[in-house]
Chain A
């Protein structure tokens, strides 16, 4: 292996690295992917696997909606164990203020040809009988979906592998440079393009990039088929999620195809310890119970944490960065949208490598766009 040369070397076997590998090899490039542990076992496994069209910014909408299209194209070839399910997202409004947000979202989506449906309180409770009464309504985005991400990551890697990509699993990179990588076992791999797709670990390999670890807690129940029908997210989420300087939780509950209920979500900066933190878990579960009182009697079979790779403007870093002796490529900083945007990211990255025209503008995701280096202190 030592000394072998590739067109593209991708560091990181999460869903983003896996998608990039497949897209690159399909575009005729000679590809190597390296994963220090197990494919799809980082944030890919920790996250919810919610495929969602977002409206925080034009750029976020462009990337998420293009990605959803790519997911729909991929869906038929996914294995059953990928659990691709178009369950839709139901944004839940608790009060008039949040219903105003429902109205704003509705016109945003409708004007961009995304199907939506506004639900009144009665329709909301019919759609989700276990929500508490007294909620103001909701916005249903029926074409959003849910997927079991680790299986997808493995599927993409296997496909890339079949198409000729080389996979190095269980090897840790100690350093990367514009023309290759050095591994802790002393071996090296050379490549024309080196891509850092290591998510929350990416600043370790490429110091100075504006990516921070944002910790999340999750819990999953035993199987209760039909308990939840859509991915449910409170609209207060937006207020909370934007509070980048403080910890937050949100009611964010997902129906798994298995009948399990996945309960999120929490966000924390400045924590590197993956241990479950009682106050955060408690706060998150209490928030979930506030919206869905019947959750209290369900059996939780597991709790865990994961780290998102967050950027100051909530957009990923896709493209080259100039370093001392050349250019390094980034595909990181996807925060909570890495599963959704993995496919779009791969397309944008390979388009840039090959100088192809992209389906959507690429500039908003350039790593050298104007970003405050670090807006979070402490």
Chain B
């Protein structure tokens, strides 16, 4: 079984398998809304490979991070617009 790391998603603790991308972890946490679009619509990942910028979240205080490109690390704090 894969090693686990603990991350915070919108203040809630989640245990995820090591190597999981932040995008997958957020979806696995039951959240499909990653960011609010400029007109307020809820959006989630589209391309899965860093092209579309739809999966942007705040990671450890850095706004606009492409969550599909970033693996979860222990203690990471993730904020969505949801």
Contacts and interface: CB of A to CB of B under 8 A. Distances in A.
Interface of A: 222-224, 258, 297, 299
Contacts of A224: 63
B1 interface: no
Interface residues of B, number: 4
8 contacts: A222-B63, A222-B64, A223-B38, A223-B64, A224-B63, A258-B38, A297-B62, A299-B64
Contacts of A299: 64
Interface in B25-80: 38, 62-64
Interface of B: 38, 62-64
A34 B64 CA distance: 42
A358 B38 CA distance: 43
A86 B62 CA distance: 29
Nearest to A222: B64
Nearest to B61: A297
Contacts of B38: 223, 258
A223 B39 CA distance: 13
A35 B22 CA distance: 49
A223 B36 CA distance: 12
A297 B38 CA distance: 22
Nearest to B53: A222
Contacts of B63: 222, 224
A191 B79 CA distance: 61
Given A222-B63, A223-B64, A258-B38, 5 more contacts: A222-B64, A223-B38, A224-B63, A297-B62, A299-B64
A343 to B, nearest CB: 28
B29 to A, nearest CB: 25
Nearest to B64: A222
Shortest Cβ-Cβ A-B pairs, 7 listed? A222-B64, A299-B64, A224-B63, A258-B38, A297-B62, A222-B63, A223-B38
